[in-house]
Amino acid sequence: MSKRKISGFTLVESLVAMVIGVISVAAMYYSYQFFNKSYQGILDKASISKSSRSGLSQITRELRNVGYKDINFIHTPLEKYLSKDNNVSGFQIGSDSLMFYYDLSPKDRIRMNYKLKKYQNSQDTYLARSYVVQTCVASNNCSYTQSIIDEPFVHNVEDFQVVFKNDKGAEVTPVNFGAGKSNQALVKSIEIYLTIRSKNEIFKKEKNWTIKNADQTYAKFDKYHRESFFVSVYPRNIIKN
């Protein structure tokens, strides 16, 4: 009677195979983590670029109407139409708040407001946009027909700065609805500065950031990516006092 030869793995061969398998799985896992992190970073940077372009484009379109006065507007004349508050309280770096008016038609007047707001239960901030339409059917009969208050307009905005300049390129300040009302007519261009932070941490190690927008400078030390954006707008319809 012949003996059947049974083939198999020795203990050493099994251990070597297990080690190779573990190394292969670990390599695949860390490769996945690396490429996933890189891909997420690309998505975050692309999101910053996209949100800044769309946000600044919208602000530009609206700022071009600043102070436009419809000569047939049936209510009070548009005298106070441009205002900026410096270093709004509650924020580490002191961002600006921008408010302006313009007439949309003989019956409709628009009020716009841009400022930073904090997310609920967070210290992170976004650029908020308020939009109010005042409609008048008679000189003494006006009401707010549409109102959007502090909607998130551009997410993860760390800094929002506004600079008013005259026809010589010099800064005009103050410009507001109080003592600075007379300076409204001097404003010939409006500069907007935005600094946007990535939604997620991108870098492996913390990085030093020094951001300068207009007259504001601040520093950060973390793993987030940041980009700053700038636009200069000529308010084509600004009226004179």
Per-residue pLDDT of the chain (241 residues; tens, 9 = 90+): 555 665 666 777 777 778 787 887 777 767 656 666 666 777 888 889 899 999 999 999 999 999 999 989 998 888 899 999 886 555 556 789 999 999 999 999 999 999 999 998 888 999 999 999 999 999 889 998 889 889 999 999 999 999 999 999 999 999 999 888 999 999 999 999 999 999 888 888 999 999 999 888 889 999 999 999 999 999 875 555 4
Q: Are 202 and 60 in contact (CB under 8 A)?
A: no
Give the list of residues 6+ apart from residue 235 with CB closer than 8 angstroms, or none.
63, 64, 65, 66, 67, 187, 188, 189, 190
Separation of alpha carbons 11 and 24, rounded Å: 20
What's the first-to-final CA gap in the chain, in angstroms?
118
| pLDDT value for 146 | 87
Separation of alpha carbons 62 and 104, rounded Å: 11
Amino acid identity, residue 153? Answer: F
> Where are the chain's structural domains?
39-233
Q: Are 91 and 158 in contact (CB under 8 A)?
A: no
| pLDDT value for 241 | 42
| pLDDT value for 26 | 76
Give the list of residues 6+ apart from residue 219 with CB closer than 8 angstroms, or none.
208, 209, 210, 211
pTM: 0.81
Q: Are 198 and 26 in contact (CB under 8 A)?
A: no
